[in-house]
Amino acid sequence: MANILTTSDFVGELETPTNSYTETKLGYYIADVQERVLLSLMGYTLKTAFEAGLIAAESKYELLRDGDTYDTDPVRYFDGIKDMLKYLTYFYYVRDMQSQLTMIGNKQANSTNSTSGASISKVKLTRMYNKGVSIYREADSYIQVKNTPTEIFEDFYYNDLGFMTFV
């Protein structure tokens, strides 16, 4: 499946400076995070149906991707899987790019006439991760409320802690 995100989606608070070398790396992170997170959230069967539904432009899958207002008591707003993937991809990419593994060890960038600025704060990284996890939980709730259990959910089960996992 094509990626839900592109490198141009990272703007505003999620801006990640890229150039011709780092844009390819960011693309790999986008694909990897999307694959792992969607499989964790949906399981194989629903993930496959979601991907096919996006290609066929089915509205229920587009709402799952882009966000929706849904009616429980009270009315709630779901941000959408796309936003969740932005925050989680940003977290993993920035966390891993703060230093680079080289032949002589782990190194941080350093310019000729200056040193690199302070790395991104752990507070901001934690905030981005927490936003992604919060939307992940919203997505889980949204899927439960908007869909009655059918064959799509046959590979879901809940463990003793109440977390959705897949068989």
Residue 53: which of 36, 66, 40, 71 has the closest Cα? 66
Containing structural domain, residue 44? 7-102+117-166
Task: Name the pTM for this structure.
Answer: 0.76
Per the domain annotation, does 55 fall within a domain?
Answer: yes
Residue 134: which of 90, 79, 91 has the closest Cα? 79
Domain count, the chain: 1
Per the domain annotation, does 107 fall within a domain?
Answer: no
- The residue-averaged pLDDT of 103-118 equals 54
Per the domain annotation, does 112 fall within a domain?
Answer: no
Per-residue pLDDT tens digits for 41-92: 888 888 888 889 888 888 888 988 998 887 767 888 889 999 999 999 999 9
For position 44, what pLDDT does the model report? 85
CB atoms within 10 A of CB 14: 17
- The residue-averaged pLDDT of 109-123 equals 60
For position 151, what pLDDT does the model report? 46
Per the domain annotation, does 108 fall within a domain?
Answer: no
Per the domain annotation, does 130 fall within a domain?
Answer: yes
For position 66, what pLDDT does the model report? 92
